[in-house]
Amino acid sequence: MKINKLILLLFLSAGILSSCSKDDDDERFPVEPGGKDPDETPNLEIENYLYDAMSIYYVYEADVPELGQNYFDSETDKEEWLAGFDSPEDLFRNGLKVPAPKDRFSFIVDDYTILENSQSGISTTTGMDYGLVRIGDNGVLAYVRYVIPGSPADEAGVTRGVLFTDIDGETMTLDNYQSLLGRDGYEISVAQINNETNTISNTDEVIALNRIEITENPVLLSKVLEVDGVNVGYIMYNSFTADFDGELNAAFGELQAAGVDELVLDLRYNGGGSVESAVDLSSMITGQFEGEIFSKQTWNDLLQSQFTQEELVDRFNDKIRTEEMINSLGLTKVYIIGTRYTASASELVMNGLAPYIDVIHVGEGTVGKFQAAAPLYDSPNFTRQNRNPNHKYVIQPLIYESKNANEDAYYEEGLIPDIEAEEDIVNLLPLGDPEEPLLAAALADITGNRMAIPAVSHDSRFTKIGERGDTDVDYQRMYVDEIPEEIRKKAAEFKK
Segment holding 314, helix H or strand E: strand 313-315
The three-class DSSP label of residue 401 is strand
Calculate ∠ Cα 12-18-22, nearest 5°. 130
- pLDDT (tens digit per residue) in 82-113: 999 999 999 999 999 999 889 999 999 999 99
Please give the pLDDT value at position 2. 41
Q: What is the pTM of this model?
A: 0.86
223-228: list long-range contacts, CB under 8 Å, 24+ apart.
223/432, 224/255, 224/258, 224/260, 225/432, 225/434, 225/443, 227/434, 227/443, 227/446, 227/447, 228/447
d(Cα 197, Cα 368) in Å, to the nearest integer? Answer: 38
Query: What single string gives the DSSP state of each residue in 72-128?
Result: SSSHHHHHHHHHTSSSHHHHIIIIISPPTTT-SS-EEES-HHHHHHHHTTEEEE-SE
Beta-carbon contacts of 399 under 8 Å, excluding residues fewer than 6 positions away, are 57, 58, 59, 299, 371, 372, 373, 374, 480, 483
What sign does the CA torsion over 211, 217, 218, 224 have? negative
Which residues are 325's β-sheet partners?
A: 319
CA-based R_g, the chain, Å: 25
DSSP three-state, residue 167 = strand
pLDDT value for 486: 77
pLDDT of residue 1: 40
Residues of the chain short of pLDDT 70, as ranges, are 1-42, 458, 473-474, 493-496
Residue 330 burial (CB < 10 Å; 0-12/13-18/19+)?
A: exposed
- Angle (CA) 57 63 69, round 5°: 65
Q: In this structure, are residues 374 and 57 in contact, taking their beta carbons and an 8 Å threshold?
A: yes
Give Cα separations from 148 to 243, 345, 473 (angstroms): 17, 22, 20
327 CB neighbour count, 10 Å cutoff: 19
- Treating both helix axes as pointing N-terminal to C-terminal, what angle do 75-83 and 45-57 enclose, rounded to 10 degrees? 110
Residues near 285 by beta carbon (within 8 Å), at least 6 away in sequence: 263, 265, 328, 329, 331, 334, 353, 357
Spatial contact of 88 and 50, defined as CB atoms under 8 Å apart:
yes
The answer to whether 242 touches 249, Cβ cutoff 8 Å, is no
Q: Going from the N-terminus, what domains does the chain have, and what CATH number goes with each?
A: 5-98 (no CATH), 122-215 (2.30.42.10), 219-456+473-487 (3.90.226.10)
Residue-wise pLDDT for 210-223, tens only, equals 999 999 999 999 99
How far apart, in whole angstroms, are the C-alpha atoms of residue 271 and residue 482? 19
Partners of residue 201 on adjacent β-strands: 192
pLDDT given at position 477: 74
Q: How far apart are the first and last CA of the chain?
A: 15
CB 59 within 8 A of CB 400: yes
CA 39/CA 29 separation, integer angstroms: 10
Whole-number Å distance between alpha carbons of 113 and 392: 8
Residue 463 makes CB contacts below 8 A (sequence gap 6+) with 133, 134
- Give the HSE-up count for residue 290: Cα atoms under 13 Å, Cβ half-sphere: 13
Give 173: exposed, middle or buried? Use CB within 10 Å, 0-12, 13-18, 19+.
Answer: middle
Among candidate residues 78, 211, 104, 220, the one with its CA nearest the CA of residue 156: 211
Strands 122-125, 394-396: pairing is unpaired
DSSP 456: P
H or E element that contains 265: strand 262-266
Contact 481, 152 (CB under 8 A): no
